[in-house]
Amino acid sequence: MVLDKVLWLFAFVTLVYCKAARQIEQDIQSVEAYIDSKKGDINQRYRLRYHIAAPVGWINDPNGFTYYKNEFHLFYQYYPYDSVWGPMHWGHVASRDLVHWKYLPTALVPEKEQCFSGSAVVDGDTMILMYTGHVNLDTEPWANETQYIAYSDDGITFHKYEGNPVISSAPNGSPDFRDPKAWKYGDHYYVVIGSKTDDKRGQVLLYRSTDMKNWEYLNVIAESKGDSYMYECPDLFELDGKFVLLMSPQGMEPQGDRYKNLHQTGYIIGSFSYDTFEFVPEVDFQEIDFGHDFYAAQTTEAYGARVLVAWFNMWEQPRPEAEDGWAGAMTLVRELRLVGDRLTMRPLDAMTLLRDEIEMVGILPPQQKLHLGKASELIVSGDLKEKIELQLEGSAGGEKAWLRWEPDTGKVVVDRGSGDIRQVEWSPSSTESWRIFLDVSSIELFCGEGEVVFSSRLFPEGEWIVTNTSPQILHATAYSLAWSVPL
Ligand X SMILES: *[C@@H]1O[C@H](CO)[C@@H](O)[C@H](O)[C@H]1NC(C)=O
DSSP at 193: E
Return the number of the residue (150 or 370) whose C-beta is nearest ligand X.
150
Return the number of the residue (165 or 373) whose C-beta is nearest ligand X.
165
- Amino acid, single-letter form, for residue 104: L
Among 66, 114, 146, 441, binds ligand X (CB under 6 A): 146
Is 143 near ligand X (CB under 6 A)?
no
The residues near 267 (Cβ < 8 Å, ≥ 6 apart) are 244, 245, 246, 247, 285, 286, 288, 343
Q: CB of residue 114 vs ligand X: minimum separation in angstroms?
A: 13
Q: CB of residue 129 vs ligand X: minimum separation in angstroms?
A: 18
Cα–Cα nearest to 108, from 85, 132, 139, 141: 132
Is 381 near ligand X (CB under 6 A)?
no
Return the number of the residue (142 or 303) whose C-beta is nearest ligand X.
142
Q: CB of residue 191 vs ligand X: minimum separation in angstroms?
A: 17
Is 144 near ligand X (CB under 6 A)?
yes
Return the number of the residue (136 or 352) whose C-beta is nearest ligand X.
136
The residues near 396 (Cβ < 8 Å, ≥ 6 apart) are 460, 461, 462
Binding mask 231-270 for ligand X (x = CB under 6 A): ----------------------------------------
**What's the CA gap between 344 and 450, in Å, rounded?**
5
Return the number of the residue (149 or 458) whose C-beta is nearest ligand X.
149
Compute how many residues bind ligand X; rule: CB under 6 A: 5
Q: CB of residue 138 vs ligand X: minimum separation in angstroms?
A: 10
- Hey, which residues are catalytic here? 61
Q: How far is CA 203 from the centre of its chain?
A: 20
Burial class (CB in 10 A: 0-12, 13-18, 19+), 355: middle
Contact 466, 390 (CB under 8 A): yes
Q: CB of residue 113 vs ligand X: minimum separation in angstroms?
A: 9
Contact 179, 193 (CB under 8 A): yes
Q: CB of residue 161 vs ligand X: minimum separation in angstroms?
A: 13
Footprint of ligand X on 2-21 (CB under 6 A): none
Find the helix or strand (DSSP H, E) in which 286 lies: strand 279-287
Cα–Cα nearest to 439, from 389, 467, 479, 404: 479
Return the number of the residue (88 or 170) whose C-beta is nearest ligand X.
170
Binding mask 274-293 for ligand X (x = CB under 6 A): --------------------
**What's the CA gap between 479 and 393, in Å, rounded?**
17
CA distances from 176 to 138, 169, 230, 231, 233 (A): 16, 10, 8, 9, 12
Please give the span between the terminal C-alpha atoms of the chain, in angstroms, as a whole number: 60
Footprint of ligand X on 157-186 (CB under 6 A): 165, 168
CA atoms within 13 A on the CB side of 158: 29
Interface residue list for ligand X (CB under 6 A): 137, 144, 146, 165, 168
